[in-house]
Structure 1
Amino acid sequence: MARTHTTTHTIATLILLGVLVAAFVSLGNWQLRRADERHAISQAIDAGRQHIPLHLNANTPDSEFINWRKISASGTWLNSFTVLLENRNFKGMPGYWVATPLLIDASTHTAVLVLRGWLARPLGPGQTLPPIPAPEGTHTLSGELVDRVPRLFELWSFNHSTADRLPAKLPLPGHSLPQIQNLDLHAYAQSTGLKLLPTVVEQTSDDRDGLGREWPQPSLDADKNIGYAMQWFTFAAIAGIAWLVTAVGALRRRKTPAPKSPPPAQT
Structure 2
Amino acid sequence: MARPHSTRLTVAALLLLGIAVVILVSLGQWQLRRSDERRAILAAIEAGRKQAPLVLTPATPSDTLNAWRVAQARGSWLPQFSVLLDNRNHDGRPGYWLATPLLLDTSSRQAVLVLRGWLPRVIQGQGDPALPATPAGELTITGELSERVPRMFELWSMGGHDQSSLPATLPVEGGRVPQVQNLPLDAYARATGLNLLPTVLSQTLAATQTAPSSLGAQPVQTAQGADDGLVRDWPQPSVDFQKNTSYAVQWFAFGLIAAIAWLVVLGGAIKRMRQRARAGSQT
Smaller-chain TM-score bracket: over 0.9
- SS of residue paired to 1:158: coil
Deviations 1:53-75 (A, max 9, x none): 10000010100100000000000
State percent identity of aligned pairs.
Answer: 54
Offset of residue 154 of structure 1 = 2.9
Pairwise CA distance, 1:158: 1.8
Name 1:17's counterpart in structure 2: 17
1:174 partner SS: coil
Query: How far apart are the structure 2 equivalents of 1:260 and 1:35?
Result: 55
Match of 1:264 in 2: none
Q: Is the 8 A contact 2:21 2:255 kept in 1?
A: yes
In 1, the alpha carbon distance for the partners of 2:203 and 2:159 equals 33
* 1:8 counterpart = 2:8: yes
Residue 174 of structure 1: how far off its partner (Å)? 1.1
Per-residue deviation at 1:257? Answer: 2.4
**Structure 2 length as normaliser, TM-score?**
0.88
Amino acid at match of 2:22: A
- In structure 2, C-alpha distance between the alignment counterparts of 1:142 and 1:15, rounded to whole Å: 60
Q: Residue 217 of structure 1: SS of its match in structure 2?
A: coil
Q: Give the counterpart letter for 1:118 in structure 2.
A: W
Matched residue, 2:88: 88
Q: 1:165-180, aligned counterparts within 5 Å?
A: 165-180=165-180
CA contact (8 A) 1:164 1:183 kept: no
Q: Aligned partners of 1:217, 1:116: CA distance in 2, in Å?
A: 16
- Structure 2 residue aligned with 1:64: 64
* Counterpart position of 2:102: 102
Amino acid at match of 1:243: W
Unaligned runs of 5+ in 2: 208-226
2:234 corresponds to which of 215, 218, 226: 215
Distance 1:194 1:166 in 2: 15
> Counterparts of 1:152 and 1:195 in 2: how far apart (Å)?
24
Q: CA deviation at 1:244?
A: 0.3
In structure 1, the partner of 2:119 is: 119
Output the aligned Cα RMSD: 1.9
**1:9 Cα shift?**
1.0
What is aligned with 1:153? 153
Match of 1:50 in 2: 50
Question: How far is 1:156 from its partner?
Answer: 3.4
Cα gap change, 1:124/1:156 in structure 2, threshold over 3 Å: closer, same or farther? closer
1:123-142 equivalences in 2 (<5 Å): 123=123, 125-126=125-126, 128-142=128-142
Determine helix, strand or coil for the equivalent of 1:129.
coil
Aligned mates of 2:163, 2:51 — CA distance in 1? 37
Match for 1:243 among 256, 259, 262? 262
Structure-1 separation of matches of 2:87 and 2:162: 15
Q: Give unpaired runs (5+ residues) of structure 1.
A: 262-267
Give the count of matched residue pairs: 261
Letter in 1 for 2:272: R
Amino acid at match of 2:148: R
